[in-house]
Amino acid sequence: MNILLIGSGGREHALAWAMRTKSSFMRGLYAAPGNPGIFEVARHTDIEDINDHDQIIQFCQRLMIDLVVVGPEQPLALGLADNLRSAGIFTFGPSRAAARIESSKAFAKDMMRKYNIPTAAYKHFDHTQVHDALAYIDNFSKPPVIKADGLAAGKGVIVPRTHEEAKNAVLEMFGGAFGKAGAAVVIEEFMEGEEASVFAICDGTNFITLAPAQDHKRIGDGDTGKNTGGMGAYAPADALVTPEIMDKVKKRIIQPLLDGMRAEKTPFIGCLFCGLMIHNGEPRVVEFNARFGDPETQAVLSVFEGDFVRLLSSAARGEIDKSAVRSSTNGYCCNVVLAAEGYPDTYNKGMRISGIEEARAMNARIFHSGTARDENKELIANGGRVLGVCGSGDTLEKAINIAYQAIPYIEFEGKVFRKDIGQKGLRYT
Ligand code: AMP
Ligand code: GLY
């Protein structure tokens, strides 16, 4: 099978690696825009701009691409999957309308209300309803969480400490602090509990889940400091998401959402990312995303057993082949993100990276997130999250140790990382 992968981050490197190494159907793998890690396993294309859908369609026709796998949310929200399907090209990734489950938090919350999916109590408001929005905040005994409606690159959520802070957050969003994404806001109840991520591969009607994972969103050890895109993850998070909880997630969350999307005439084909809050054995939805998560994917696909290409292509054709996923996983994986100093605010780019081969010799798997080649073809940092260092083992403890033993070999100026990725999972053992 010939596949085109869209995207350029650590998630896409993991997708490319899994398609290459965990399938017997893979023939030609191409990536756009790609990154130096992705190009270790995939070929370049002449696609200059992934927003130019015609160019992508022409490439697919010329190279006889059988399947396009779309990694990030932005192209999905811009209708790339719709245009590819209209051109007769099988695509793993939801339509623009179905991707609203991520691109509009108000839409997602309304879907959950309509289809009885457990989530935090909420209301949404547009900028003409400032007074109602501020008054609603006073209804909550604990300060509620404030969310910009639209896509804000993971930054549009404020968890305030006081009601005053919550009100200021609403005023800032309506004042344009998040651009168009903040033109409407969701105000919702603060949920206690522990977070987990579950990915469901969906064909519009049916689904199969992959190993549950746990992300570490804050920049600092012990979950302190600013929210980031994610500083590390481990999988399977099977002590937190027990089989009983997974069963509830499937029955009360994923299946009703898929049925609801179909009833709304916007069936969901792709990876449905369920961001969950688990409290006293009960899962509730924090957010849905319309794509794989980063940095969870690197860990989830490391433990995946089955035929990954068969899984994605059968889902894209609307007839998911559940036998493509084995119920066992291949041990545990811990993925530690190496970030550039300053992330998630401003950070430097262009620092030379060394030691990747040495780290690989320590049995770590390295995924590239924000890297590039300079004019001398040297590897340099080119993003906030630079690399993911994955350790695998038959226990979570061994997986963590392998990742952390490899990290010192990788050097770039201003390298920062959390020292406690995976420790949450050990608490249960
Ligand atoms: P989101 O982008 O919706 O996942 O929100 C980012 C982060 O904010 C989540 O990972 C949670 O840590 C936190 N968060 C969002 N909504 C809530 C909520 N209702 N209760 C508690 N924490 C939340
Ligand atoms: N790791 C969280 C996300 O991908 O949104």
Domain 332-426: CATH class, spelled out: alpha beta
Nearest-CA residue for atom 2 of ligand 2: 293
Q: Write down how long the chain is.
A: 429
pLDDT of residue 352: 98
CA 121 from centroid of its chain's CA atoms: 24
**Distance between CA 256 and CA 249 in Å, rounded?**
10
Cβ(234)–Cβ(333) under 8 Å? yes
Beta strands in 15-92 (DSSP E): 29-33, 67-70, 91-92
pLDDT of residue 154: 64
Third-level CATH fold of 2-94: Rossmann fold (3.40.50)
Would you tell me which CATH number, out of the four given (1.10.150.20, 1.10.240.10, 3.40.50.300, 3.30.470.20), belongs to the domain 194-327? 3.30.470.20
**Distance between CA 289 and CA 333 in Å, rounded?**
22
Q: Between 10-21 and 308-316, two packed helices, what is the crossing angle to 10 degrees?
A: 110
**What does each C-alpha distance from 85 to 68, 141, 252, 415 come to in angstroms?**
10, 48, 30, 42
Cβ(29)–Cβ(42) under 8 Å? yes
* Ligand 2 and 228: CB distance under 6 A: no
Q: Which pTM was predicted? A: 0.96
Expressed in angstroms and rounded, the spacing between residue 189 Cα and the centre of ligand 2 is 21
**Distance between CA 244 and CA 282 in Å, rounded?**
10
pLDDT of residue 144: 97
**Could you give phi then psi for residue 3, rounded to 5 degrees?**
-130, 140
For the purposes of burial, counting CB atoms within 10 Å of the CB of 378, is it exposed (0-12), middle (13-18) or buried (19 or more)? exposed
* Ligand 2 and 215: CB distance under 6 A: yes
pLDDT of residue 429: 59
Third-level CATH fold of 121-188: Dna Ligase; domain 1 (3.30.1490)
Q: Which residues pair with 122 in a beta bridge?
A: 188
Nearest-CA residue for atom 4 of ligand 2: 293
* Ligand 1 and 191: CB distance under 6 A: yes
For the purposes of burial, counting CB atoms within 10 Å of the CB of 24, is it exposed (0-12), middle (13-18) or buried (19 or more)? exposed
Expressed in angstroms and rounded, the spacing between residue 419 Cα and the centre of ligand 1 is 22
Which residues of the chain are under the pLDDT cut of 50?
A: none
Name the residue ranges covered by the structural domains of the chain.
Answer: 2-94, 121-188, 194-327, 332-426
**Distance between CA 321 and CA 314 in Å, rounded?**
6
Query: For residue 106, what is the enclosing H or E element?
Result: helix 105-114
190 CA: nearest ligand 1 atom: 20
pLDDT of residue 72: 97
Expressed in angstroms and rounded, the spacing between residue 191 Cα and the centre of ligand 1 is 8
Ligand index nearest the alpha carbon of residue 192: 1
* Ligand 1 and 195: CB distance under 6 A: yes
**Token pair for residue 110?**
């309304």
193 CA: nearest ligand 1 atom: 21
Expressed in angstroms and rounded, the spacing between residue 157 Cα and the centre of ligand 1 is 7
Q: Please confirm whether the linkage preceding 408 is cis (ω < 30° from 0).
A: no
Q: Express each pLDDT in 105-133 by its tens digit.
A: 899 999 999 999 999 999 999 989 999 99
Beta strands in 118-231 (DSSP E): 122-126, 145-148, 157-158, 184-188, 194-203, 207-209, 214-215, 218-220, 224-227
Closest CA to 3 of 53, 88, 66, 46: 66
Closest CA to 30 of 51, 10, 49, 12: 12
Q: Which residues of 323-339 are buried (b: 16+ CB within 10 A; e: fewer)?
A: ebbeeebebbbbbbbbb
* Ligand 1 and 217: CB distance under 6 A: yes
275 CA: nearest ligand 1 atom: 4
